[in-house]
Amino acid sequence: MADFLAIRGPTREHFKPDSEQNTLKVTKERPPPAVLVVFAGPHKRSFLLRPICLAFLLWLLGASLLPSVHAQAPPGRPNLALPYRAGETYVVSCGYGCYQHRRSMTYAVDLDMPAGTPVTAAADGVVSAITWEAGLPANKHLGDALIVYVDHGNGWFTRYVHLDGITVEVGQVVRQGEIIGYVGSTGAEHPHLHFELKYGQSLHAPSQPIDDLFGGAPPEVGRAYESQTATSALPPTTASVPRLVTPTPTPTASAPLVLDQALRLSTATTAVGTTVTVSFALRNTSNEPLVLGLVGLAARNEKGALVSETLVVERNVRLNPGQRLEIERETRPLLSPGTLSFFVFAFTPDLEPLPLPAEGHVLLRVTGGYRLFLPLVTQ
C-alpha cells in the first residue's frame, strides 16, 4: 500500500498502512487550513519531498500576498507635473536606483537642466522647509546643496535639490507651475535638478515612485520628457495658510545688489612692497536673475587716482535670486605709500554702473619702505 504525505500550511498528515486492520492510519498535527497540496509516492522517499513541498508552499503564499501589499498606496497622493515650465523638455540623467539614489532616495530622478533654468512646484502646496545639506558623495567634498521642500498635505511632499537661488520662503503657499527657484550646482559636480516625491513625517522619509510623470513607466536615462500641466486642487490641509506676497522683479535702478559681507582687509596698515588680502560678498536681492558684466574691487589714493595693483575683477557673473557671490583675493605688491580707499564695484553687461552701499569703502594705510642698493662689482 502506498504512503501519502499531505501538507496543509503548517500541518502535516501521514497516511500509513495499518496491516492489522487493513486500513489507513492518519496522524494529524494541527487542524488543516484552506490550502491543500498532496503528494504521493513510496514511503521511503517521503522524507525528501517534505522540505521541497514546504518550500514550494511558502513561495506560493508569498507570491499571492505581494500584489496586495504593492497595491496599497498611502491616500491623498497629489497629482504631479514635471518640475519645470509646461512645454519645456529635459533629459533624465539619472533614474531610480542610479548613482547616489539609494535607501530613502531610491525613486529620485535627476534632470539635466542648464544653470538658471526656472524650477516650478510639481503640485499645489506650502513651502515647508529650505535647507542646506551636504552634497553626495561626501568624499568628493562638493559643498552644501540648497534644497526646497513643498508640503502637499496628507504626508506627501516634494524635494528640489541643487538649487542656485530661490524665490520662495518657508510658509509660502505655492501653486503648481509656480517658480520656486533656479537650477544650479550647489552640492553637485554640474548643474542639474534632483527631484523626489516623498511620503512620511521626516524630511528624509522614503521616496515614492513617480512613473505617472514619465508615461506610466520608470524614467529612462537619456530620454527627454516634456512637462505637461496636471490638474490639482490645493490640499484642504494647506488651504487655511495665508498666501505671502511674492516680490515683484526689482528694476536695476533700485539696487538689486547688497553687500552680504562687508569689504574686509587682512590688515589696516602695511608697508610698500607687501600684499593685502581683500574679501567681500554680494547677494542678488531681486526676484529675477542678474547678469553682471564686471564685478570686483579696487582702491584710490589721496589724489583720487586708481591704484592698478589693487584691482580685482570677475567678468560675466550670473546671480540667480537669493544667490551669493563671495570674492577673496590678494592684491599685487603695493608700490607707493599713502592712504588707499578700497571700494566694491559692479557693472551691467552694457557697462552701466550698479549702485552699491557706501559702507563698502575701507581705508588702508601704506607706509614707506626701505630699498637696498648693492654696488655692481666687476672684475
* Average pLDDT for 93-120: 88
DSSP state of 6: E
Separation of alpha carbons 366 and 8, rounded Å = 96
Cβ atoms of 120 and 85 closer than 8 Å: yes
* Average pLDDT for 222-246: 52
Owner of C-alpha cell 500500500: 1
CATH of 89-226, one of 2.70.70.10, 3.30.420.40, 3.40.50.720, 3.30.1360.120: 2.70.70.10
Separation of alpha carbons 218 and 70, rounded Å = 16
Cell reading at 147: 534644497
Cell reading at 99: 548613482
pLDDT tens digit string along 55-70? 666 555 544 443 333 3
**pTM attached to this predicted model:** 0.49
**pLDDT, the chain, mean:** 75
Separation of alpha carbons 269 and 265, rounded Å = 10
- Give Cβ neighbours of residue 279 (< 8 Å, ≥ 6 apart): 261, 263, 264, 326, 327, 328, 329
Separation of alpha carbons 67 and 103, rounded Å = 22
Whole-number pLDDT of residue 90: 96
**Residue 254 falls in which region: left (phi positive, over 0), alpha (psi -120 to 50) or beta:** alpha
What are the beta bridge partners of residue 37?
7
Separation of alpha carbons 142 and 57, rounded Å = 51
* Average pLDDT for 245-256: 39
Separation of alpha carbons 330 and 10, rounded Å = 79
pLDDT tens digit string along 313-357? 888 888 877 778 888 989 989 888 999 988 888 888 877 777 776
Whole-number pLDDT of residue 302: 86
The more confidently predicted of residues 235 and 151 is 151
What are the beta bridge partners of residue 281?
261, 326
Question: For the chain, what are the domain ranges?
Answer: 3-71, 89-226, 252-367
Separation of alpha carbons 41 and 50, rounded Å = 12
We find that the CATH architecture of domain 252-367 is Distorted Sandwich (2.70)
Cβ atoms of 147 and 131 closer than 8 Å: yes
Whole-number pLDDT of residue 133: 80
pLDDT tens digit string along 280-313? 888 887 767 788 888 888 888 888 888 888 888 8
* Average pLDDT for 99-124: 89
**Residue percentage of the chain with pLDDT more than 90:** 29
Task: Evaluate if residue 92 carries a pLDDT over 50.
Answer: yes
Whole-number pLDDT of residue 261: 74
The more confidently predicted of residues 239 and 77 is 77
Cell reading at 318: 550670473
* Average pLDDT for 38-43: 45
Task: Evaluate if residue 17 carries a pLDDT over 60.
Answer: no
* Average pLDDT for 247-258: 46
* Average pLDDT for 263-289: 86
The more confidently predicted of residues 164 and 321 is 164
